[in-house]
Structure 1
Amino acid sequence: MSDLDATLLPPGRVEVAARWHALARGEVTRETVHAWAVPWVEGEGALVDFEDPLVVTALQYLHGFDLCQDPSRPGVVWHGTAGEGEWCHSPDDIANGLTRWQAKCALYDEDPQGWIQAVREQARASIQAEEEEHGRRPHAVADPTRHPTTHLADSYPRPDDPMSRQSHDRPDSS
């Protein structure tokens, strides 16, 4: 069997935590961690059935810690490299995000089914509140835990949390 035929196995919690710790300590670059996470967020690995939903969450964070923004173009963010713009996530955001993720892991481990139910309820409430705010009729809400790339507990943006910003492709250079 060649390497091309090998199935891309998802990392486990220990591996993603080690990458996140290394980034928080400055031992690896944002770009390196992003590149490592790409196969499971954008590539073939995104189709893998993850047993642990919090690994998916961690991979999405690691994938997005290289997001840059240009103060002269509000709302435009892209995956970048040092010096291309301002980082969307400060070193403190990265470290604090790791702490929050570890706390969520502990809650999940205490009661996985209860955690999943709470996440579903949070997602439904968030969608309903947004629809009511915008005067739209509420619609049936899909189960946010069914798709492997759902951001689970962080599936909705929170204005007070810089780690829940949405990302977009690199802006064109025009």
Structure 2
Amino acid sequence: MNTPRLETDRLILRKFTEDDLEALYYIHSDEEVNRFLPWFPLRNMEDARAFYEERFMSRYREERAYNYAVCLKENDYPVGYVNVSMDDSYDFGYGLRREFWHRGIITEAGKAVIEQLWKDGIPYIIATHDVNNPRSGSVMKRLGMKYRYSYQEQWQPKNIQVIFRMYQLNLDGNENRIYQRYWDNSEVHFIERDV
């Protein structure tokens, strides 16, 4: 059941393959797209291959992997991604090529992935965004996630200090659950009003 293929009205969500290295490069080489992500933009196709092997191939070997290429149905070419980590955070991450922003693509893809997670018995997901990237928080809200707290982290490998907002969606009905690890690991943590 590793990575079930999903479809929406406009999108195909599937595994990345070696044939997608060019698409992966386009997504991860844009400085603006990667500004709020922990890794540095890819510089060339060798970087793209290494990124693919580290962030996708290794995950696809696991029993469960929710690491999706987000493709337009018209050409099955990846324009973004949605990932969910399989550690205790079930961290939900996403990215999209700049020319496809503001079209609801990640919201549409995210809803399909969340429905699959719910079917598969994943109890909750969390997502975080840099306070300087509130549009990412808007995506989290559209996916039904609720703001829980903010915390400071020295983000690697960029080695910058970032204040993150943490959102959570409980899929198993346990509305009292709040994922605490980021709060507990950060000396600077707080709850913002009117987020």
> How high is the TM-score relative to the length of structure 2?
0.29
Larger radius of gyration: 1
Answer 1 or 2: which has greater strand percent. 2
The structure showing larger relative contact order (alpha-carbon pairs under 8 Å, at least 6 residues apart) is: 1
> How high is the TM-score relative to the length of structure 1?
0.31
Answer 1 or 2: which has greater helix percent. 1
